[in-house]
Structure 1
């Protein structure tokens, strides 16, 4: 499932290509026909993302998209070709277009419904209006593991399995540490790191989490070969040697996702500083 940086990249792309313009909107597949007809020919005001949710604003009407596991946008130049595959939504602007396929959600909602949806989400490290204190208020009271809490979109919006595993490694935090044992100082360092890592993900379009001294050139190793791209410490590296200590990376299931961590680098209980 795409993580938050992907949705913010899409929001920026759609803003730059369609923002302020009258656009044509259709649903070749037919499953979004009513919503598409409502905004067809309207002015695309702006695009925003919050966590893993994308919003296209057309005055009082908003198209809400959640890509889920299989959704994705395909950009294309004009003139457009006939839609291929199951295109849920097609947008055509002044110089280009985009096709949306396979999303979990593509629906027309109101501004009030946008506000209600955002109220259910935790703070997004990529938004200027984020309030990390809201996430800390829930984490500091929770018996759940910090690894589970970081994936709970009601606690923290946008971070997924990759950022969860990597930020815990970067701070040496045992993944099963209960949230209420974390300590506010440690939480603030996690948040600051996520802000920087995810902003970098928006800029470059992939997730890179290793520090300069652990990059392939610095260590004399081959670059990571993985369809997800990016240089990481533990994500999808089960059984491979830790880049820092050489211990095989461990994995286990947690909250329906695979968790990855280093048993040595993340073995020391975190300092609880309240």
Structure 2
């Protein structure tokens, strides 16, 4: 971004978002092992925030995806949705499913094809590996929500340093373009490494990879934020929080043993979380 002439403020915003995201990851990493009722309440609260954004957020060319905090534009779906999905993978229940359905409705109302596609593909991946009524119900709602985003017009123009970065970076220099492509590919490394080296938790890694593959593809195909390598703190914080989905030490999850439904959620090592942080 600096090579392309982005304002210095953009660089500081991204750096601050990284610090905030890693801090939240450290704090919330313990909360993920809380009792199921707490996880359900968190999912419902975040779904309420997404619905509130769709109904009361800033309107730009008919899209209502943002809220303004201290003069900065924040896209709550990029921050909250990955964390919601991480929690849902661990605590599938009726209240949690209702929260995911509400999130699918919010994506349809905003509308946000990128996030709606992320939600649908994540749940499809989860359903293919861990099929249960809760996942199938949430998947049906997400597919309907995604379909609704497709029939609504999306007239948003590309925003400099935010959208179309995968292409515009090559206008700066070939090395800059390759750096952006490489940076985007690195977001998928935790999923690929985990799939190969940790067979017991492949469902988790597949779902994690599905989330960020969809976001990257959306950035390549339309005017949607390019995660992490472009300007925007929401995607940086969202990526950090999505690392909550990756396996932790078995001992660190002891407090959540009463509500963990799938033994494949645990592992004896958190090395892939460390890989993702790197």
TM-score by length of 2: 0.24
Answer 1 or 2: higher relative contact order, Cα 8 Å, separation at least 6.
2
Greater per-residue helix proportion:
2
TM-score by length of 1: 0.24
Greater per-residue strand proportion:
1
Higher Rg: 1
